[in-house]
Structure 1
Amino acid sequence: MTVGIVVVGSVNLDLVVATPRLPSPGETVLGGEFRTVPGGKGANQAVAAARAGAACAFVGAVGSDDFGRMLRDNLVAAGVDVRGLRTADGPSGVALITVDAAAENCIVVSPGANATLAGLTAADRAAIGAADVLLLQLEVPLPVVAEAAGCARDGGTTVVLNAAPAAPLPRHLLDLVDMLVVNEHEAAVVAGLPAHTGTAALVDALLALVPTVVLTLGTRGAAYGDRCGLRLRVPAPVIDAVDTTAAGDAFTGALAVAWVERGTASSEDALRWACAAGAACAQRPGASVALPERARIDALFHEAYRNTA
């Protein structure tokens, strides 16, 4: 099966520096290696889906600077259809990322051209309507996210929203979402609950808003719930993590592919495969450069879950 995925989202150049530990407010920490890596949650998820085996198209915006040309070339090299990628006058989006020795990270994003994305073209709408899945995040203006979701609903396309960075969401957008993918912090913000609310309570609260919820739990794996009453917990593969920057994007892109290929009857299997994708990404440094190919996902999936019935 060829899975058709359209991603409407952000594309950034990540400016990454390694440090022994993340600095405290007001503190200067001497860093190590510095790298520039194509990133952005939208572009990362598009590359992740393409490498996981999907036919993927991307709708977004880069700047008219050298970074924009680099970002466009990176998507093309990954096999992503970029006919929906605009070029806006001015700078491209950038993310300033610090990664510590434990593979934890701290990220500040300057949206640049991503903030100029406003409205879909007729070609964008046709692509979304013909796709199996529309993948959305919150690093581009909310009106275009809602417009894309509405277009998908009209065309019968499944809407997967990764609600990151965390923000309260309007009901008119949530009503268009088929699957919400969030970490625990994002889940609490969307649900309007206190931090440190338990996993089960978060899932239950979010199911009052959307039909299907996937809660990413980092090294603890992922949790799943839907309005049919199914609840799942899947462990993550045990690995030596190097950089977790794009692990969530690898998970989300792979989940979209697995969800279509394996069907809702194999929800647990799809979650495991997505967890394997996230873990495989975390084994390598960088964002888009670490996103795993399908063969790597399959290998880690079988290694991690081979004794699971």
Structure 2
Amino acid sequence: MTTTHAPGRVCVLGSANVDDVREVDRFPRPGETVFARSRTRVPGGKGLNQAIAAARAGAATALRARIGRDEEGRMLRAAAAGAGVDTAGMLEVPAATGSAAILRDGAGENSIVVAGGANAAFTELTADDLAAIAAADVLLLQGEVPVVALEQAAVHARDHGTRVILTPAPVQEFGADLLSAVDLLVPNEHEACALAGLEDPRAAARALTATRRRVLITLGGRGAALVDPTGTVQEIPSVPVRAVDTTGAGDAFCGALAARLAAGAELPEAARWAAAAAALSVTREGSATSPAREEVEQLLDRPPV
């Protein structure tokens, strides 16, 4: 059975992109051309995806992002607002809205190339950004905006008692000041290995538990593993589903995780809840397709088969 918690406050600081998705039978080899079965343009970007996921999971969610003064920026603002996200922090800058080119194969796997656009202009936090961070229970960060903004946000959050979660995707040169302010690091297995310089994901996660930080490493269809600073590993099981599109599954996981932690759930329970949310998200097409709170609770309350 799931446990009911009061809604919490989540501030997401990160990217907002328009995803250009092309369906292919298989990924092209270098120098090869393949035909796409279809093409769609949908809202995306790790920051936007995670904010939508947190809002749908029941948190009062604010997104701090940078978008262009263009049709794409208006599309992203409307998508966030439609999911119940506070969009006052989606500020317009003189640059094109960020975009991502996504290839998705017949197995639901994806390959992504991001053009930062307005996201790259997120190099300084406003007074309103700082106030939103201080007012939140959880600050959720990712690697698709400049590290200088992430560092300023994380240090401000730490100084004001806001819990900091970092998804190090894509992996950048995250400095010591940023990492020391992070309470929970949530990499996938490839990101964990890249950050730690190791080949084994669980060994990499143990190496990343510096400054008494906990690490929750996502393992795709194999679930997740929670590692504490003592090196103890707690396995978080996956929820078996038929995957249609894995784009944004990690963002669904992180947004739901932040929402449950903000509501007062303990980390293992929040991680199990997030795993269920991520499982539901891959049964739908698109990167901003996180399930509603009620859907996740119904899945978790379903008797095992």
Aligned to 2:3: none
Is 1:208 the counterpart of 2:210 in the alignment? yes
Aligned to 2:125: 120
SS state of the match for residue 33, structure 2?
coil
Distance (whole Å) between structure 2 residues aligned to residue 230 and residue 200 of structure 1 = 10
1:85 Cα deviation (Å)? 1.2
Is 1:242 the counterpart of 2:244 in the alignment? yes
1:292 Cα deviation (Å)? 1.0
SS state of the match for residue 297, structure 2?
helix
Higher relative contact order (CA 8 A, sep 6+): 2
Is 1:226 the counterpart of 2:228 in the alignment? yes
Aligned to 1:297: 296
Aligned to 2:195: 190
Gaps of 5+ in 1: none
Distance (whole Å) between structure 1 residues aligned to residue 87 and residue 230 of structure 2 = 37
Aligned to 1:30: 35
SS state of the match for residue 263, structure 1?
coil
Is 1:136 the counterpart of 2:141 in the alignment? yes
Q: Is the 8 A contact 1:166 1:185 kept in 2?
A: no
Identity %: 47
1:307 Cα deviation (Å)? 4.8
Q: Is the 8 A contact 2:206 2:229 kept in 1?
A: no
Q: Which shows bigger deviation, 220-229 or 38-47?
A: 220-229
Alignment of 1:11-26 (within 5 A): 11-26=16-31
1:133 Cα deviation (Å)? 0.2
Distance (whole Å) between structure 2 residues aligned to residue 175 and residue 274 of structure 1 = 24
Q: Is the 8 A contact 2:187 2:216 kept in 1?
A: yes
Distance (whole Å) between structure 1 residues aligned to residue 193 and residue 230 of structure 2 = 22
What CA deviation, in whole Å up to 9, does each residue of 1:25-72 have, x standing for no partner? Answer: 111111112111000000100000000000000111111111111111
Distance (whole Å) between structure 2 residues aligned to residue 208 and residue 307 of structure 1 = 37
Q: Is the 8 A contact 1:179 1:210 kept in 2?
A: no
Distance (whole Å) between structure 2 residues aligned to residue 198 and residue 260 of structure 1 = 31
Gaps of 5+ in 2: 1-5
1:156 Cα deviation (Å)? 0.3
TM-score by length of 2: 0.95
Distance (whole Å) between structure 2 residues aligned to residue 156 and residue 82 of structure 1 = 23
Distance (whole Å) between structure 2 residues aligned to residue 94 and residue 285 of structure 1 = 18
Q: After TM superposition, what 4+ stretches of structure 1 lie above 3 angstroms from structure 2?
A: none
Q: Is the 8 A contact 1:215 1:222 kept in 2?
A: yes
Alignment of 1:37-76 (within 5 A): 37-76=42-81
1:210 Cα deviation (Å)? 5.2
TM-score by length of 1: 0.93
1:260 Cα deviation (Å)? 3.1
Distance (whole Å) between structure 1 residues aligned to residue 90 and residue 182 of structure 2 = 23
Q: Is the 8 A contact 1:276 1:301 kept in 2?
A: yes
